[in-house]
A and B are shown apart, each in its own frame.
Chain A
Amino acid sequence: MEPIVELIDVIKTFDGREVLKGINFSVMPGEIIGYIGPNGAGKSTTVKILLGMLKKDSGTIRIFNQTLDEKDETYKSRIGYVPENAELYETLTAKEYLLFVGELYGMKEKEIIRKAVLMMDALGIKESFHGRLSGFSKGMRQKVLIISSLIHDPDILFWDEPLSGLDANSVQIIKELLAKLKDEGKTIFYSSHVMDTVEKLSDRILILHGGEVVADGPFNELKKEAAGTLEELFNTLTGFDEHEALADQLLKGIKGEFTHDA
């Protein structure tokens, strides 16, 4: 089987600073990839390059067995995206927003509405179909974003913190959905800072640190390098072990206990 996504030596710099230092990985159809890394590691940059929202400096990207052509956007109709910062056009109603997104994917009005109502019903927000997004809670907005990423039945999903703000029941629904989408052969990039969710959901973990892939493999295999949870593995690989000392420093900050060098 051919990889559905392949990155070869992808480099990206911002103002002379190398954010991606030659990223290499490939993803097979039907895989759920836990895509994690500390803040500023280059996760969002990679996803934005894959979505054609940013230009890479060098390297090759193959997606759906074709080399990515930055001028041809048609491949995006097979991708669903939930961005980390849940931005929406808030003056629109949920119905209008989903119609807007669906039509950009070339779908027909009737089809969009039928799908949207069904999915909103499943996530318990059908009553808000005609409500303006500006009046939605964080969780409701997240649900609309998730629906907008699925409405055109994409083959690859890029989900950045998709469970943010969702209640416990909705989280469970989405987790079940992910398993079913995997069975359907969909590929899912799942990016989150909630390690135990990533650990449980992913077939494979990709850890990005300082613009480089520092770990790539199924969690069971990676565990051999550093026993324990994914969180502990993450800390080991990103070289971070000062949690307690820094918590103490925060406490001092709250109390106003300054040392002379602070």
Chain B
Amino acid sequence: MMRNGLDKEMYESTPIYLKLIDKLAPFYTKIGVDYGQMRTILETKMIMDSRRDPVIQGMSSNEDEREDKNHFFRSLWVYALVSVFMLFLFVYDNWVFQYTTYFSYLFIMVFFTMLANFSTILLDTKDADLIGSKPVSQKTIGAAKATHISIYLISFTFAVGLVIILSTFYFNGILAGILLIILTLLASLWTLGLTIILYATVLKHFDGERLKNIIAYSQISVSIFMVAGYYLMGQIFEIIDPSTFLVEMDLSLGHALLFPMWFVAPFGLLQEGFKMVYVIYTLFLFLGTIGIGILYYINSDKIDRNLQKMNKTKMRVSERSLLENGTEKLLCLSSLEKAYYHFTWQLTKNEREFKTRLYPSIASALVFPLFIFFTTLRGGQSITSQNTLTFSYLPYFTMLSIPMIAVVTQFSVNHKGSWIFELSPGRAKGPFLRAVTKVMLVKILLPMYSFISLLILVLMGFAQSVHLLNGFLLMSVILYFEMKRSVKTLPFTRKYAASEANQGCLSGLIFFVPVFIVSISMIVLQTFIPYAEWGVLLLLISINIWWIKKGFDE
């Protein structure tokens, strides 16, 4: 039978996830998977995840090599901690309200993590060469990938849900607790299933460059859909009695599409007894699960069967755009920095992994300000001094994508090409980091910020333009400090690894508090002290000029 662990000296015991998966062996065999092979692939992948690649080839010491740690599992406690805020839900004894909030939050977190961080595993083409030439069926490779991701995704889901699950046992009883565990697991599997079905469908019908774009954009649209859905949740409830949070679900066709609601209905049945609304939604959940199961079975080998399309590229004449050339002349001072500026611009234009990791983050940073903008407008509110204040600081929300920017610029699928940086005449690190930060500012943050700002300028005229300009300059300074804090190696020299998938979220948490304080201070300063915005403008210009010239120098 199978061996236990690849290297027996290091892996005496079988990891718990493998023991659990071993119990599912008959199920895997039944759907046409060679379980022995799948287990071998899975075990190997998990060991690979627990080892980080040395940043510079051949530079790792033996000491480091012996230390196998999976960084993903070691950071899960943070998510459990963050979810503590949801404890307020138990103040009111309304299960439907409690679990609607819970499942909305859970689905956003899990979908976001899945799309941004685990797409790379599903779409990995290296396996095709290394495993595809062996007698392993595509169904087995597909199942290994899905199981590999689900180990992470289920752990992540339960880390996010832990506080609520434990509280449910305490406040709502054992039955509700068990139901929540089952439904939380199901939510995790739904996310994985839906993603696989989506990618398999896209891969089947399209190819080449278009496919890559479709995948990147589908990530954005799913992110937008999830975040927008979260805000729509508020409309489903009709608050009957605010003092007791007595609420009622409103079942209309449009709302029925918000599938996290389907996960809530069983709790309604459990607490309030028979109600047609809950019965219908529970039925949707049941049918939806069967539907996803069938669609997964049909599509489980389609991704790997069509994965070769991912590597096909069309010949394209690459020209430097006016924006690229213009900003290079304006922002880059040395020839080395100019070279790195163009290099970064082109690399980020072509690298799929860069886009698939960053785009969902951009989407969610845009959705919130846009949502507020449009709901305020739709509500027919007039522009008062109060919402002038709100509006002029909406673009600040685009800053939320900065932590992810600082993470993605460290990695590249082409990390092996990084030896070229070591050959550059002169010290590479300072100019390279300056160039990368400038490209991110111009290429990613400027368009986002300008887009929201433009909407506000159109709506409110130019009175707020200095505030808006200051916001951008502040964002530039924050980007610099965040890059300086988190990018410790040369950019684009690290390899994407599943175990480091949640780095973006983690640094987001570290990032949030100081940035919030700085932004609020600036808002208060500019709002309450006359002409303070001009002082702020001068200060921010000086700091920006400094980092543009000398930032990252050692």
Interface residues of A (CB under 8 A from B): 14-15, 51-54, 71, 73-77, 79, 81, 83, 85, 87-93, 95-96, 99-101, 103-106, 109, 130, 132, 134-135
Contacts and interface: CB of A to CB of B under 8 A. Distances in A.
Given A92-B47, A134-B53, A134-B57, A73 B136 contact: yes
B137 A73 contact: yes
Given A51-B133, A76-B133, 10 more contacts: A73-B134, A76-B135, A88-B130, A91-B51, A96-B44, A96-B47, A130-B7, A132-B51, A134-B60, A135-B60
Interface size band for B: 35 or more
16 contacts: A51-B133, A53-B308, A71-B137, A73-B134, A74-B135, A76-B134, A77-B134, A81-B133, A85-B129, A88-B130, A91-B47, A91-B53, A104-B40, A104-B131, A132-B65, A135-B57
B40 A100 contact: yes
A157 B154 CA distance: 41
Interface of B: 2-3, 6-7, 36-37, 40-41, 44, 47-48, 51-54, 57-58, 60, 65, 126, 128-137, 207-208, 308, 312, 314
A74 B37 CA distance: 13
Contacts of B6: 92, 95-96, 99-100
A90 B497 CA distance: 12
Contact of A15 (B47, B134, B135, B312): B312
Contact of B132 (A51, A74, A96, A99): A51
B135 A73 contact: yes
A53 B65 CA distance: 33
A131 to B, nearest CB: 8
A122 B118 CA distance: 41
Given A73-B137, A76-B133, A92-B48, A87 B7 contact: no
Contacts of A132: 51, 60, 65
The interface centre, meaning the residue of B48, B131, B133, B137 with most chain A CB atoms within 10 A of its CB, is B133
A186 to B, nearest CB: 17
Contacts of A134: 53-54, 57-58, 60
A95 B58 CA distance: 18
A76 B131 CA distance: 11
A213 B504 CA distance: 52
A98 to B, nearest CB: 10
A15 B208 contact: yes
A100 B57 contact: no
Contact of B40 (A54, A93, A103): A103
Nearest to B137: A73
B7 A90 contact: no
B44 A52 contact: no
Contact of B37 (A75, A85, A104): A104
A41 B149 CA distance: 38
A194 to B, nearest CB: 22
B142 to A, nearest CB: 13
B37 A89 contact: no
The interface centre, meaning the residue of B60, B65, B131, B134 with most chain A CB atoms within 10 A of its CB, is B134
A100 B44 CA distance: 7
B339 to A, nearest CB: 19
The interface centre, meaning the residue of B129, B131, B136, B208 with most chain A CB atoms within 10 A of its CB, is B129
A76 to B, nearest CB: 4
Given A15-B312, A134-B58, A105 B130 contact: no
Nearest to B134: A104
A88 B133 CA distance: 13
The interface centre, meaning the residue of A79, A109, A134 with most chain B CB atoms within 10 A of its CB, is A134
Nearest to B127: A89
B44 A89 contact: yes
A173 B534 CA distance: 77
A53 B132 contact: yes
A15 B48 contact: no
A40 B249 CA distance: 62
User: Which 4 A-B residue pairings sit nearest by Cβ, starting from the closest?
Assistant: A76-B135, A91-B51, A77-B135, A104-B134
B3 A52 contact: no
B293 to A, nearest CB: 22
Contacts of B58: 134-135
A137 to B, nearest CB: 9
A83 B54 contact: no
Given A93-B7, A134-B53, A87 B126 contact: yes
Contacts of B208: 15
B7 A79 contact: no
B226 to A, nearest CB: 33
B40 A52 contact: no
Nearest to B126: A87
B7 A96 contact: yes
The interface centre, meaning the residue of A71, A73, A77 with most chain B CB atoms within 10 A of its CB, is A73
Given A87-B126, A134-B53, A101 B134 contact: yes
A95 B132 contact: no
Contacts of B134: 73, 76-77, 101, 104-105
Contact of A105 (B2, B54, B135, B308): B135
B44 A92 contact: yes
Nearest to A88: B130
Contacts of B2: 103
Contacts of B44: 89, 92, 96, 100
